[in-house]
Structure 1
Amino acid sequence: MNRIKIILVSLCFFHFSFPKDHSFHTDYGLEWCYFVGQLQSESGNLYGYELSFFRLKFSDGEVWNPEVFPVHFAISDLTGHRHKTAQTFKRSLGGLAGYDKDHIYSGEYEFQILSKDTFVIKAKPKSNEISLEFRLEGNGKILSHGKNGISIKSKRNPNIYSYYYSYPRLKTKGELVFLGKKESIVSGDSWMDHEWSEKSSKNIPTLAKGQSGWDWISLMDDKGGDYVFFRFRESPNLPPEIFGTYRDPNGNVTYWTESNDIQMVPINKPWKSKNTKITYPLQWKIKYPGGEWIIAPIFNEQEFDGSESTNTIYWEGAVEAKDSIQKKSAKGYLELKGYQKSKDWWEF
């Protein structure tokens, strides 16, 4: 009990500092910064995208090994129901990947930090099938998760936590290429998530262990509210733990941390991927105080096979949500991790 108290007390002194904390943090072993969004082109077509920058380094408890920088990239044609992905895995050796206070890069992928609220992201893989270059403009309203940005993933195990913030409603403009066709993006919102953890981990970072999994949903509703729901599965032998964050249109933030605060359950028949044979629960019901979201993907085939980079297969795609109780709708992204069979190697 004393050890738990010491951990929680030490975490209470952490505070974010922007734009500094938009970049990577060399003292931590596991980190990711990713962008998702639903956008409209000048031609009227609708697109979703994912661009995820990862950073990992192992520690023997005394010495950090060289860092590695995987990137996952996907574009979903939401009008034509088509999905294409790309990925890379670079090391900092030879200048192929790295970061400083102003940007993160790995191969053909780059995140430029122009200010606290303005970013440029680029993804230009050599295949030329898909690419993007966007300018993202924020409204100054960064959303921290948990007290002082400390996101506890498990009440059973307080060692499982991350420093976590989101930046919803990033106005997005620029260009993308999908299957060789260039599109000018004229409207839409992106959502940025940034997490880091494992400051002095030995062997394998806790959040990367193969048995762990999670179901994550971000939603931006049509009345100005922002939601994150997180269903953490530490192992198949333990019941999932569910947490949530809600910011209302006036900027008031509510954290749901108790087991009776919210319910998050799959509904309807799961979907089985033809490519990987993995089964995912793509439709969800989320009950929260005063409302109930019914969530469904815009189309099913939005799986990401990261076998060539992080050795992880997961589902991440654009979703729509309806709340008939509060009479509102929302757009967002759903991520389902941990449905593949455990590997011998670590997984993100």
Structure 2
Amino acid sequence: MRRRAFLATLAFGLLTCRNANEQPAQEHTATPVASPRPASLFLTPPPAPGPVVFPRDFGSHDVLTEWWYYTGHLRSTVGERFGFQFVIFQVQRFGYPVVYAAHAALTLVDRQAFLWDERLIAVPQRQESWPLVLAVADWTIASDGETDRISARSRSFSFTLELQNQRPPLLHDEDGYFSWAPETGSYYYSRTRLATWGVVSVGGHDVTVSGLAWNDHQWGNFLLGAGGWDWFAIQLEDGTDLMLWQSRDAAQRVIQRSGTLLRADGSIRWLHDANIRLHATGSWQSPHSGAIYPSGWRIELPPGMTLTVTPLVLDQELQTLRSTGVIYWEGAVSVIAEQAGVNTAGQGYVELTGYATPSVSFPPP
């Protein structure tokens, strides 16, 4: 579920202490923080969910929290490998401006480097349009649910990418209302395969790239509690796609696991706690925040599938204190899936929240 209302809710708390007309935050590479502790989950009883309807639900909603999230793997024409992340959060609270926060990151796999930046704005009312057009300062998303264009530019990197949907939207928890903790949930679907092409720039040097991306869209009336999560989006070369989610409470105990397994033939299997075994195989300590993250995983799923997930770069931590007040790890990974003695390669993205503590505090919404 992409994870993310956690970030957007904190963006609201941060904004109440700031000027609503503030300019975009500047790029960061490291921020000292306090020692790590669990971050958060959202704890609000969900309403009785209605159906997800397209194309209506490709757009924005009049809810507390919403986000549009893109991750993917790219190669240049000479074979250089990149990972990218781009997200816009929308946060609404009665009596306050509408808050938009955005994060962008670029993983330079072959150079073992990671670049990221953030933006934050507040506007009098929600950005509504169809086809969808969202702007956070000079960063933008345009989408009609089939074809998307995203653009982000910072001092050290930028990308402008076109994305073309290859599969129908995948509704999680069968009907698109996704529960990730007791009495907690939101609407959530993924577009699991988007053919992607465009231009990436690093240090002012432009390269043409192409690859495969994943898009999550999530929305609902949910708030923030204590805990964290581990989220996986995996694309295998045989056409299998997997979203996997693990929630943790404030004591770092796993409280729920779930996921959606989509086969190349379009068949879907919804996964729950009893179906999933997820084990970290290593750890990595951030030199920026001091947080210790799991790093490398073994995942066992029915019927007899085992996945080995390996970060392509260890340091893919974002310290987004100026936009959402959150420190988290989100990065490109490689995957090997084994089933019935056959190995299949793949790629993906992993997000880890609740392992680091920002050195700032926020008033309640």
Same fold (TM over 0.5): yes
Amino acid at match of 2:231: W
TM-score (norm 2): 0.82
Pick from 262, 278, 285: which aligns with 2:276? Answer: 262
Give me the whole-angstrom Cα distance separating, in 2, the residues matched to 1:308 and 1:197.
24
- Whether 2:300 is the aligned partner of 1:287: answer yes
Pick from 347, 351, 356: which aligns with 1:340? Answer: 356
Amino acid at match of 1:42: T
Match of 1:221 in 2: 236
Conserved in 2, the CA contact under 8 Å of 1:24 and 1:104?
no
Pick from 142, 157, 161: which aligns with 1:134? Answer: 161
The structure 1 segments of at least 4 consecutive aligned residues displaced by more than 4 Å after TM superposition are none
Conserved in 2, the CA contact under 8 Å of 1:56 and 1:67?
yes
- Whether 2:82 is the aligned partner of 1:47: answer yes
Report the Cα offset of residue 341 of structure 1. 2.8
Match of 2:135 in 1: 105
Conserved in 2, the CA contact under 8 Å of 1:284 and 1:295?
yes
Structure 2: state its 5+ residue gaps.
1-44
Match of 2:290 in 1: 277
SS in 2 for 1:79: coil
CA RMSD, 1 decimal = 2.0
Q: Per-residue CA shift, 1:291-329, capped at 9, x if unaligned? A: 111111011011111111000000000001112334212
Match of 2:53 in 1: 16
- Whether 2:348 is the aligned partner of 1:310: answer no
Conserved in 1, the CA contact under 8 Å of 2:307 and 2:336?
yes
SS in 1 for 2:295: coil
- Whether 2:146 is the aligned partner of 1:117: answer yes
Number of residue pairs the alignment of both structures matches = 315
1:1-348 matched pairs, under 5 angstroms: 10-11=48-49, 13-18=50-55, 20-25=56-61, 27-58=62-93, 63-93=94-124, 98-102=127-131, 103-113=133-143, 115-125=144-154, 127=155, 129-154=156-181, 157-158=182-183, 160-185=184-209, 187-198=210-221, 205-206=222-223, 208-209=224-225, 211-236=226-251, 238-257=253-272, 259-268=273-282, 270-289=283-302, 290-325=304-339, 326-341=342-357, 344-345=361-362
Conserved in 1, the CA contact under 8 Å of 2:76 and 2:207?
yes
Report the Cα offset of residue 65 of structure 1. 2.5
Give me the whole-angstrom Cα distance separating, in 2, the residues matched to 1:264 and 1:346.
35
Conserved in 1, the CA contact under 8 Å of 2:107 and 2:114?
yes
Give me the whole-angstrom Cα distance separating, in 1, the residues matched to 2:240 and 2:363.
36
Amino acid at match of 2:170: L
Amino acid at match of 2:77: E
Amino acid at match of 1:137: Q
Give the 3 Å change call, closer, same or farther, for CA 212–16 of structure 1 in structure 2. farther
SS in 2 for 1:310: coil
Give the 3 Å change call, closer, same or farther, for CA 346–171 of structure 1 in structure 2. farther
Structure 1: state its 5+ residue gaps.
1-6, 199-204
Amino acid at match of 1:109: W
Q: Per-residue CA shift, 1:318-343, capped at 9, x if unaligned? A: 00111233421210000001111376
TM-score (norm 1): 0.85
Give me the whole-angstrom Cα distance separating, in 2, the residues matched to 1:219 and 1:77.
19
Give the 3 Å change call, closer, same or farther, for CA 78–98 of structure 1 in structure 2. same
- Structure with the greater relative contact order (CA < 8 A, sep ≥ 6): 1 or 2? 2
Conserved in 1, the CA contact under 8 Å of 2:167 and 2:193?
no
Conserved in 1, the CA contact under 8 Å of 2:161 and 2:199?
yes
